[in-house]
Structures are given as structure tokens and as C-alpha cells.
Structure 1
Amino acid sequence: MEKTTIKVGALPIPDPVSLYIAKAKGYFEAEGLTVEPVQITGGAAALPQIESGALDISMTNYVSTFAAVEQGKKIKLVADMYQAGPNMFNIMVPKDSPIKTVADLKGKTIFVNNLHNVATLAVETQLKVAGLTADDVKFAEKPFPEMGNAVNSGQADACWITEPFITANQSAFGFRTLADTMTGQTEELPIAGWMATEEWTKKYPKTLAAFNRAISKAQQAASSDRKEIEKMLPTYTKIDAKTASVITLGTYPSELNANRLQKVADLMLEYGYLKNSIDVKSVIATPLSG
């Protein structure tokens, strides 16, 4: 093994739960790895940290990754993490809002956690179905935890929001779902994965293979028993046990599938997030055979 201790960047959200499952269940240890989770502020923010070597591996979302690859960043996807399911990423409005359909968003302001990323892309696919484009609405940035209060006080008309905040805003304000943005073109959209620099994957192939085996095993544990996820969430997120038991979760694929990920790059090209098409196979790190 080339490296026995690695630092891995993760956000305090449900997506990277396998990292914590693998650590708790001794999957990394069994592979001879010591993994130190490091809390990051966002996938894009983690890019300089993997480039500088402050992190060995980090979580990322696929939209950010493909945008970075087009800009010439030498990064590789090393493992899958999270895929969208129904009612996980919703456009929500206050209960007494006059907005009844996606078409009613014309001329309105929508809060998203990041501009020109997964949020706006997901909303744009729904606008398209309603005969609108991104130019028909105004997108504004607001962190997920602040969206509910901000929409409630009239700073925006709607918000694109994920769990546990969907559940929280339903119970606190009676917010209602205007649209599930992971339907149609975005059904089962791959959301997040693990990345490393190309240089790192070439330098430490055995370390990477060990990380992959442990993560894949943990993804399988998460997929087969929701209780494993519920037990782990309160240990690294602000989600308490009660909320963990009711929130809507996506799925945890145990292998990177180029065809599945290609859908993200193709959507980005269609909606102008990429200038040129990307062959996703070229972005996936080639695992050690055997």
C-alpha cells in the first residue's frame, strides 16, 4: 500500500454517509487504511484542497466536476456516492402562495444553493416542460438552512430545496411542493461522487483500490438497510434521529457507471453548462484490475 492514512473531504449531509459507515464498521481498517474525514463547505471549494494535497479524496457533485474538467482541471472520479430519487430535490412555495404550477414561476425569484450548478440545471429542466427558460425567472443564492425563513419573509417566491430542509419547512411553515425536479429528463440523476486529482490516482493506485473496496461495501450496506443510514446521520450532520427516520433519501450506487453519468454531461451540454461534449469515461479513474 502506498499510503495508509488519507484525508477525505465530505459535507455534513446524507450523501457521503458511506464514508462514516465504512469507518464505523471497520471496512477501511480491514483494507489497511486509516481515513480521516474532513468537513468541507462545498464540492467546488474542495477542488483547491485536493489540488494542493490538503485532501487526498473529496466528495464532489457531478455538475461541478464536468464544468471543472472542461476548464482543464486534471481530476478523476474515483467512486459513486449518491443518486436522486423522487421528492428529494423539490421546488417549494409557501402554503398560501398564488403560484400553483411551474408556469406561474415566470418573472419570479427562486432561491438555489448555488448558481449555475445542479440546482439551476434541475430547475431549468422543469421550466422547459412548462414552456419557460432560465431567462424567464430570477435565480438567487441562499444556503439551504436559511431558505425557509427567507422565502417566508418575502425575499423570494420559491426555493429549490433538499432534505432535511424539505421536511423542516413543511412542518415549520406548511410549505408545499410545486415540483419534484428529479423527474423526466432528470429522473434518477446521479448527484455526487468522490474525486481525486489525476496525479494522485496514478501515484496511489493501491490506496485508491482499497478506498474503493471499502466504500463500495459501505454503499451496499446503506442500500440494503436504511437503518444503517439513520443510525449514522446524527453522528456527523445536524440531522437528529427523529428527522433521520422520516426524511426522503436517494440511492447509494456501489459502482461508477459511465452510461449513467453521461446523462449529466449531456444535460449540461443541452442547457449550455458545457460548450463541448465530454466523454465521461475519460473522467473516471481506471481501477487496478484484480
Structure 2
Amino acid sequence: MTRKLRCHAIVLGVTVALALAGCGGGSESPTSSANSNGLEKTTIKVGALPIPDPVSVYIANAKGFFKEEGLTVVPTTITGGAVAVPMVESGQLDISQTNYVSTFAAVSAGKKIKLVADMYQAGPNTFNIMVPGNSPIKTVAELKGKTVLVNNLNNVATLAVTTQLKVAGLTADDVKFIEKPFPEMGNAVKSGQADAAWITEPFITANQSANGFRKLADTMTGQMEDFPIAGWMASEEWVQKYPKTLAAFQRAIAKAQQLASTDRKEIEAMLPTYTKIDAKTASVITLGTYPSALNENRLQKVADLMLEYGYLKSPIDVKSVLAVPASG
């Protein structure tokens, strides 16, 4: 998700790499063949977490979709969503992965950023509240007075859990949220530091197989059903300065998203190349969906839900945050 987006270093036999991907600068050449496409900038750095969400950027590179646009994209591993906004603001990254909750919170705080492409949308059982197999907790209502681990406070995790608490007649004040990186959640719950944890893939599969955890609730139901999780963002200044470069990126990434959405095997083949999720695990983890275009109505749902639960102090018109392709 934002997600804050996430700090990863998997344990329990499913390891997600934190090693930085090649960060070479790669200055654009005035004699590049991309000049025939009129691109203002032919080499860009794109921030991404080593998780399934941003797989399309690696698919686009492997399939030559960026190259077809005259664009060289250098994926740069980031350690979490918290670093993404300052990195695009400072120019360390041209474009970066972000989660939508973080994005709209940043916009509400006055940050000049734009969403430039969609990335990942939740599906069933992609973000679950989990407990040990022998836990006496059988329902969400029984979380009252309990401690729940989330990867980030006041973000997608707490919002998702709170919607489930509401259905059970509880509020966020009825539980204690503690922040803990996904890789550390299993051991923390086992050792009694918490009663439950909000976990996503591939950590769901890891904790089921290594710790015998079971699902208490799928948080991507009810108000959170088909919830948009992550997208690509850039600074407003960058979007204005490099419109043709942006359009080239959008065309290529949309093509890769379409491929990812229609052929899971493409995702399974790519995950081991930029994460430490092995081929066997890649074949069994539960995945969400990969939309090919930013959808104003779907994303407005995120901002409206944030407003309802107090994550925003005033409404946001999502359309004003979108940098849609010139073709519409």
C-alpha cells in the first residue's frame, strides 16, 4: 500500500530484497534516438519498492516498452513511502511509487504532487488481519482492548482495520495500534507483543506456512472492496517541465499494466528478478489487480473514505491531482 508504503526484509523463508537497485544517474544525451520522439528527457529514475505492486515497470523494461518510446527507465529501490515525496520534490527521483492514502494526505498538507499512472488495486485476501492459529480471538469484535500491528500509523493499514472495526460495532479507539515492519510482525505476535497483525503478501503466505497464522478478516471488503492501493507520482513541476517524457512513460506503463492484468505468468516470471520472492512463492501468493488507467471515480472513493474517517480535514477533488495523458 503507501505502502508506507512498506519497509521490507522478509524472514520466514520469503525474503524481499532491500538491496538498492542500480542507482546510476544516466544523463540524457542530446543525440539520443529519443529526440525523434521529441522527449525533453530520455533517461529517468523511477522509485519502486521490491514488492509485487510495481511489477509493471520491470515488465515494461524487459519487454522493451520504454525503449519503444525512446525512454530509458532506471528503477531505483526505495525503502518506504515516507521517502518518496521528498525524493521527487528534490529531483532525486523523476517518478515514484506511492500509495494513494499517503498521496492525498500530502496534497492536503500542501504538497505539489501529481498522480501520473495507476499501479495496484486490492483484491480479496490481499490485506488481512491475522492471528496465531491457537488464538482465542475468533471475530473482529473480540479485538476490543487488544493490540494490532500495522506497518504504518494513520495510513492504509489503520484505515482498513478501522472499517472492519466499524462493522463490528467498534472504533479505532477500541484497539491499540502499534507500528511494526511487515517482516517483524510474525515474531512479534508469537512473542506476545501483539494480539493480531494487518498483513499483506507475500507476508500472508509466509506467516501461514511458517507460523500457522490464520485469517481473522479480509480488510478489503465492505467499504474497502476493490480499494485502490498504489500508483505512480511526480512533482507538479516535473509534470509541467517534461510533458512528452511523461506521456511516453504513461503509454509504456499502461501497456505493461495491461499485460500484468491479463497474464499472471508475466508477474510470476518477473518477481524473482527484482525481489527475493522465489518462483514457488510467486506462483501461490494472492495478488490484487493492475489497472491500466487512472480512474477519477475509483480514486475519489479513497479521498472520500479518508475524509469520513478523519484522515483529511477537508474534501479533496481527486481530478485536480491527476496528470492524465494528453489523449485523455
The alignment's TM-score, normalised by the length of structure 2, stands at 0.88
* Residue 131 (structure 1) aligns with: 169
Structure 2: stretches of 5+ with no match in the other structure: 1-38
Query: What SS does the corresponding residue of 2:254 show, helix, strand or coil?
Result: helix
Equivalent of residue 92 in structure 1, options 130, 154, 158 = 130
Asked if residue 60 in structure 1 is aligned to residue 98 in structure 2, the reply is yes
Asked if residue 79 in structure 1 is aligned to residue 117 in structure 2, the reply is yes
The aligned amino acid for 2:63 is K
CA contact 2:294–2:324 (8 Å) conserved in 1: no
CA contact 2:151–2:181 (8 Å) conserved in 1: yes
* Residue 216 (structure 1) aligns with: 254
Structure 1 distance, partners of 2:80, 2:325, is: 26
Structure 1 distance, partners of 2:184, 2:51, is: 15
* Residue 184 (structure 1) aligns with: 222
Structure 2 distance, partners of 1:176, 1:254, is: 33
The aligned amino acid for 2:217 is A
Q: Give the Å deviation of 1:105.
A: 0.3
Equivalent of residue 108 in structure 2, options 65, 70, 73 = 70
Asked if residue 34 in structure 1 is aligned to residue 72 in structure 2, the reply is yes
* Residue 145 (structure 1) aligns with: 183
Q: How many residues are matched?
A: 290
* Residue 148 (structure 2) aligns with: 110
* Residue 304 (structure 2) aligns with: 266
Alpha-carbon displacement from aligned partner over 1:244-279 (angstroms, at most 9, x marks no partner): 000000000000000000000000000000000101
Runs (4+) of structure 1 moved beyond 6 Å? none
Asked if residue 47 in structure 1 is aligned to residue 61 in structure 2, the reply is no
Structure 2 distance, partners of 1:60, 1:11, is: 9
Structure 1 distance, partners of 2:164, 2:44, is: 40
Q: Give the Å deviation of 1:289.
A: 3.2
Identity %, equivalent residues: 83
Q: Give the Å deviation of 1:238.
A: 1.7
* Residue 52 (structure 2) aligns with: 14
Alpha-carbon displacement from aligned partner over 1:190-247 (angstroms, at most 9, x marks no partner): 0000000011001000000000000000001101100000000011112110000000
Q: Give the Å deviation of 1:288.
A: 2.1
CA contact 1:43–1:58 (8 Å) conserved in 2: no
Q: CA-atom RMSD, angstroms?
A: 0.7
Alpha-carbon displacement from aligned partner over 1:13-56 (angstroms, at most 9, x marks no partner): 00000000000000000000000000001122111100000000
CA contact 1:5–1:36 (8 Å) conserved in 2: yes
Asked if residue 243 in structure 1 is aligned to residue 313 in structure 2, the reply is no
Structure 2 distance, partners of 1:127, 1:174, is: 24
The aligned amino acid for 2:308 is E
Q: Give the Å deviation of 1:122.
A: 0.3
The aligned amino acid for 1:194 is W
The aligned amino acid for 1:268 is M
Asked if residue 279 in structure 1 is aligned to residue 317 in structure 2, the reply is yes
Alpha-carbon displacement from aligned partner over 1:71-105 (angstroms, at most 9, x marks no partner): 00000000000000000000000001010000000
Structure 1 distance, partners of 2:221, 2:241, is: 40
Query: What SS does the corresponding residue of 1:32 show, helix, strand or coil?
Result: coil
Equivalent of residue 160 in structure 2, options 122, 125, 128 = 122
CA contact 2:303–2:315 (8 Å) conserved in 1: yes
CA contact 1:76–1:283 (8 Å) conserved in 2: yes
Q: Give the Å deviation of 1:12.
A: 0.4
Structure 2 distance, partners of 1:47, 1:109, is: 30
Asked if residue 289 in structure 1 is aligned to residue 317 in structure 2, the reply is no
Asked if residue 154 in structure 1 is aligned to residue 192 in structure 2, the reply is yes
Equivalent of residue 25 in structure 1, options 40, 63, 83 = 63
Alpha-carbon displacement from aligned partner over 1:158-198 (angstroms, at most 9, x marks no partner): 00000001011001111000000000000000000000001
CA contact 1:15–1:192 (8 Å) conserved in 2: yes
Structure 1 distance, partners of 2:271, 2:106, is: 29
The alignment's TM-score, normalised by the length of structure 1, stands at 0.99
The aligned amino acid for 2:275 is T
* Residue 200 (structure 1) aligns with: 238
